[in-house]
Structure formats: C-alpha cells, structure tokens
Amino acid sequence: MSTLIPSISAKCLSFMPQFVLQELGEKGLARTFNAAGLPLRFLESRDGYIPEQATVTFIQEAARTLGHDQLGLLLSPFVSVSAYGAWGSYVLSAPTLGIALSRVLKVMPYHANNDRASLRCYGQTVRFSYQFALRDHKSYYSITHVTVAALLDIMMQYLGHRWVPAMILVDIPKPAEAEIVEDKYGCPVQFNADELAIVFSAEELKAKNKAPWPFDKTTVHDIARERASGPPGGLVEMVREILFQQMIDNDTGLDNTARMLDMGTRRLQRNLEREGTSFRQLSNNVTMQRATELLGLPGETVSSVAAELGYSSPTNFSRAFNKETGQPPGLLLCK
C-alpha cells in the first residue's frame, strides 16, 4: 500500500507569497519558491494540492532569509480563509459561528488529507482545535502561528475583529519572548499544551455572521468541483499532482519534484520503483494527458500542442503520443 504523503490545498498559502515579495523582493521570492519547489505562478494563482512539506519549507526559507524568529506572527495578517476558494466561501457563508466551525470539520478532507480539526464543549467553554500533520517539523513554531491566524480569521467573521478568545493553547515550547505572543493575540497563551486550540465561550457559537458574505450560495458540491476528488493520497498520486502543476509552466523536472517532497532524487526514484512505476513513466503519462486536453480545445493544431509541450517538432510529438496512447494526435483535434 502506498505511503500517505501529507498534502494540502495550495490555497493555504493565502497572501503569504505577497508578504515575502514585499519584504524580500522578486529575487527573494524566487529563492523562497525555489527552495520549496513551488512555481512562481503561485504568487497569483494557487490551484491544486501541494505536499505539506513544501508549505513548511516555504515558511522556513522565508524565516531564514528574513532572519526573523517570529515569522509566523509577521505572516498572520496575511492569512485569510477568504482566499481558500470555494472551501473558504462555504465556511464563511454560514449563518452562525457554530455552523461555520461545524462546516470546517465537514469539509476538512477537501483541504488537507492528514490534518485534523475538532470542536469540543466543556460546560460553558468550547475548544476549537487543529492538528497539523507535520507537527515535528523544525519550522512548526511558525506554522503554529499561521494556523492560529487562520482559525481566528474564521471566528472574527462572526465575533468582530476586536474580539479576543478566552485563551489560546499551543503545542510548542514557551519562547523567551512569550509576552510578544500574548500581546499579539491580546489574551493568555498556554504553551506546551497537548493541542493547538482556541478557547472561547459556548455562548459565542450563536454569534451571527457580521458581514454578508458574497458567496452565500456556496455548497459542498462547489468545493468538490473546485477541488476534484480532494488531496492526493499516496506518492504516485502526489507526484502526478505536482507534474500537472509544473506542466502549466512547461517546467516538469525530477529535481523540483523531489525538493517539494523533501527527498533526494535517488530516493524518490527508488520509492516510485517500489510503487511499480518511474518518474519518467509518470511524466510521460501526465504529458500525454495534458496533450489530450489541449487537442480538444478549439483552434489547436498538432503543431501548436507540440510547441506548447516543448517538443522539438510535431513529428516527434506525434510519435510519442501514438506510442503512449495508441492513436495519432490528429484524431483528437476539435472539429
């Protein structure tokens, strides 16, 4: 059975790339994206799923370059669930906070394949908690504050931007500058907790949406259509997802794929061999699937698709397509 690769919607990056661009400039953003194996187009368009490893590497590299231990706190204003596409619209369009948080639990599998959220009542107190799959990663300190920012963003949609929780629990060691963290959140923060959670009054679950959300007709089916079948599970599915993302930029490559997965190229190739395939085989398969999609567009020709996919000539493309699919590409052209 294929090993589960923790993956998450690329939309989780929210507006963080814009922050890195603002602080480090274009070259700094390019270096940060490159370290994580992410395409530069993610500055504006973030479709599909990425390994959670790429997300934490992006934050880790930004922190290293900026030389700032509290990067998570700096990033928090740039975290917005409204940037999460249909997923965010569905959650933030709920009539009350209680329903919004229940929706988070319901549609979590569309957001990340190995993260967990829970909502638990203790008398008059409620805990809304989130468990990130890569809790042992060295940049988890920053991830913690980014996650807290996302949870608070949801709750402030209903309780107002001046609202503060009764307490925030974080499963990270207490830093020397703990008072900076408490000043940021405006409430007590308990470090070394068993979980990451927002603690608040059960009465606040009844709070109504403060601002009419423009996409109040968003449904679970809209999320399913936007995010297809949800996050990829095993290694082969994750590599295919990465290759499709790279295909848009015509920049497929073993090195970048391995970097996104935090693996060496040889290790990735060995792991794929155990799954009964190879990087080249997956790359060819994805390329021909993309070719099939392009051939079905009005106005496309065999020559234009060959050029789009980086083939040196239409003949070489036709030969490769016929070998992979068993038919010439001209048969698929939109009439």
Spatial distance between the Cα atoms of 158 and 201, rounded to a whole number of angstroms: 13
CA atoms within 13 A on the CB side of 287: 24
Tens digit of each residue's pLDDT (9 = 90 or more) over 86-96: 899 889 988 89
DSSP designation for 12: G
User: How large is the average pLDDT for residues 32-37?
Assistant: 89
Domain count, the chain: 2
Domain boundary, last residue among 226, 252, 267: 226
Question: Using CA atoms, how far apart are residues 273 and 321, in angstroms rounded to an integer?
Answer: 23
Residue 283 lies in domain: 235-332
Asked if residue 1 belongs to a domain, the reply is no
For residues 166 and 276, membership in a common domain is answered with no
Cβ–Cβ under 8 Å, residues 133 and 6: yes
Among the residue ranges 118-132, 190-204, 252-266, the one predicted with the least confidence is 252-266
pLDDT band for position 277 (cuts 50, 70, 90): very high
CA distance 115 to 85: 18
CATH number assigned to the domain comprising residue 302:
1.10.10.60
Q: How far is CA 211 from CA 187, 203, 215, 218, in A?
A: 24, 19, 12, 16
Identity (one letter) of the amino acid at 295? L
Top pLDDT among 177 and 154 is at 154
Q: Residue 141: give its domain's CATH number.
A: 3.90.1520
Computed over every residue of the chain, the mean pLDDT equals 86
Higher-confidence residue of 186 and 78: namely: 186
CA angle 311, 316, 318 (to 5 degrees): 105
Sequence letter at residue 292 = T
Instruction: Clarify whether residues 128 and 35 are in a common domain.
Output: yes
- In angstroms, the Cα distances linking 325 to 35, 134, 292 are 35, 39, 10
Closest CA to 96 of 224, 213, 198: 213
Span 309-320, pLDDT tens digits: 888 898 998 999
143 and 199 both lie in a single domain: yes
Same domain assignment for residues 31 and 126:
yes
Residue at 52: amino acid letter: E
Each residue of 5-16: pLDDT tens digit? 889 998 888 888
| CA distance readout (Å), 160 to 89, 116, 148 | 18, 25, 16
pLDDT band with cut points at 50, 70 and 90 for residue 1: very low
- Please say which residue of 226, 244, 265 terminates a domain: 226
Q: Are residues 102 and 221 in the same domain?
A: yes
Q: 200 and 252 in one domain?
A: no
Quote the strand ranges of the chain, DSSP E.
7-9, 49-51, 116-122, 125-131, 167-169, 189-190, 196-201
Model confidence at 200, pLDDT cuts 50, 70, 90, reads: very high
Q: What is the Cα–Cα distance from 48 to 70, expressed in whole angstroms? A: 29
159 within 8 A of 89, measured Cβ to Cβ: no
In Å, how far are 72, 165, 169, 189, 210 from 161, measured between CA atoms? Answer: 19, 11, 20, 18, 10
Q: Which two tokens stand for residue 117?
A: 């959220």
Half-sphere exposure for 90 (CA within 13 Å, toward CB): 22
